[in-house]
Amino acid sequence: MKAIICTKYGAPDVLQLEEVEKPTPKDNEVLVKIHAATVTAGDTRMRKFDVPVSFWLPARLALGITKPKNKIPGMEFSGEVETVGKDVTQYKKGDQVFAATGMNFGSYAEYLALSGEGKDQVLAKKSSQLTYEEAATIPVGGRTALYFLREANIQPGQKVLINGASGSVGTFAVQLAKYFGAEVTAVCSGRNGALVKSLGADKVIDYTKEDFTKNGVTYDVVFDTVGKASLKDCLRSLHEEGTFLHAVGSPGIALRMKMASINNKQKLVAGGPPQNPEDLIFLQELIESKKIKPVIGKRYPMEQIVEAHKLVDTGRKKGNVIITISQN
C-alpha cells in the first residue's frame, strides 16, 4: 500500500510517499481503507518536533528520541471497513467510519488497522449524509472545540472570545459557541473575517490591527485555540469569575495556569478531550442537521503532502486541510 513516511524530524520534505506492507488486523481490530485524512497543526509540530521546553522530555519519550517511533503520521481520518478481526462485533465489512488515532498516528496511509478502544484511539460509524472529507475533520478539530466549550459550561447570552477563530478548532468553536447560545467575538486575520462572520461570529477582531487583550473588553470565556496569546494578558480579558480555555497546553502552561488559579475565582482549563465516541456522534448529528459545518480550506493528494504541510506551517490555513487518500 501507499503511505507517507517520516523517518526523521525536520522540514516538510522529510515526508516521503512510499510503498509499505499492508497491515493485518488483530483479532480485536478492524482494517480500514482510508479515504480522507487531515493535516493539523499538531501533525506539523510532531513532524518537526516543535514542542515547548517543558514538554521536551516526555515528548521525546512518547514520540521517539532521535526519530519518530511511528513512521506513518496523521491523527484523524475517515474511511471504510475492509475486514474485521474475529473478536470484533460492533463493526462489519463495508461500514463507513471516522476516527482519531491520537499518538498512535497512522492515517497518512491507504490502510490502517485499529481497535478504536485503545488509550489514544476513538472510532465511530460515519453517516452516509456526510462526505468522507467532512467526517475526517471531526475527530481532532471538532472534538477539541466541543470538549473545551463544554468545560466552560457556556450559558445563553454569555460573551465568548475565540482566539485563532479561522483554524480547524477555531471554526468549530465559533459555531459550537453560537449553538450553545453565546455572543461570539472571533479573533483572526482580516482576510478571514468574512469566513468567521459566515459561521456566526457576532464580532471580529483583526489581530494584525488590534490586540484583544489591551482593548479593555472582558469576556465570560476566553478560548485560545492556538496558544499564541500570553496567559497573563488573556486573564486580564476575563471576567472575575470567567473561564480561560487553552487548547495547546504544555506541562509548563498547565502548571502556570494551576498556579494562577490559586486564590482566584476564574476557571482555567488545559489538556485535551477524552476518547469518547459519543462526542463524534454528537458532532456528526449537528452537521447532519445543518447546525454546524466543517470548513475545508484546501485539498491535496498524497503526492502533495509536502505542500500541504508547508501551508499548515505558515499558520494561515483556513479551517481544515484535507489529504485525499482514496476516491473509491
* pLDDT tens column, 40-97: 998 998 999 877 666 667 767 777 878 888 999 999 999 999 999 999 999 999 999 9
Asked if residues 245 and 222 have their Cβ atoms less than 8 Å apart, the reply is yes
Q: How many CB atoms lie within 10 A of CB 19?
A: 10
Q: CATH number of the domain that 162 lies in? A: 3.40.50.720
pLDDT band at 205 (very low <50, low <70, confident <90, very high): very high
Cell matching residue 70: 511511528
Q: What DSSP designation does 140 have?
A: I
Residues 151 and 263 in one domain: yes
For 129-170, the pLDDT digits (tens) are 999 999 999 999 999 999 999 999 999 999 999 999 999 999
Residues 192 and 99 in one domain: no
Report the relative pairing of strands 111-114 and 122-125 from DSSP bridges: unpaired
Residues 10 and 133 in one domain: yes
Say whether pLDDT at 307 is over 60: yes
For the chain, how far is it from start to end, CA to CA, in angstroms? 15
What is the model's pLDDT at position 66? 81
Residues 298 and 222 in one domain: no
Distance (Å, rounded) from C-alpha 288 to C-alpha 315? Answer: 29
Residues 265 and 149 in one domain: yes
Q: Is residue 274 part of a domain?
A: no
Q: Considering its fold, how many domains does the chain have in total?
A: 2
Return phi, psi of residue 59, to 5°.
Answer: -70, -40
Distance (Å, rounded) from C-alpha 60 to C-alpha 79? Answer: 30
Q: Is residue 90 part of a domain?
A: yes
Residues 131 and 224 in one domain: no
Residues 113 and 220 in one domain: no
Residues 312 and 261 in one domain: no
What is the span of the domain harbouring residue 8? Answer: 2-137+294-324
Q: Is residue 243 part of a domain?
A: yes
What is the model's pLDDT at position 28? 92
Residues 86 and 166 in one domain: no
Q: What DSSP designation does 175 have?
A: H
Say whether pLDDT at 274 is over 90: no
Distance (Å, rounded) from C-alpha 199 to C-alpha 189? Answer: 15
Q: Is residue 279 part of a domain?
A: no
Distance (Å, rounded) from C-alpha 27 to C-alpha 220? Answer: 48
Angle at 251 between CA 246 and CA 257, to 5 degrees: 50
SS3 assignment, position 172: helix
pLDDT band at 255 (very low <50, low <70, confident <90, very high): low
Question: What's the mean pLDDT when you consider all of the chain?
Answer: 92
Residues 8 and 122 in one domain: yes
Strand partners, 185: 161, 203
Report the relative pairing of strands 296-301 and 267-269 from DSSP bridges: unpaired
Q: Is residue 286 part of a domain?
A: no
- Exposed e or buried b per residue across 1-11, where buried means at least 16 C-beta atoms within 10 angstroms of its C-beta: ebbbbbeebee
Asked if residues 47 and 14 have their Cβ atoms less than 8 Å apart, the reply is yes
Q: How many CB atoms lie within 10 A of CB 265?
A: 9
Residues 124 and 29 in one domain: yes
**What's this model's pTM, rounded to 2 decimal places?**
0.94
Residues 13 and 132 in one domain: yes
Say which amino acid occupies 295. Answer: V
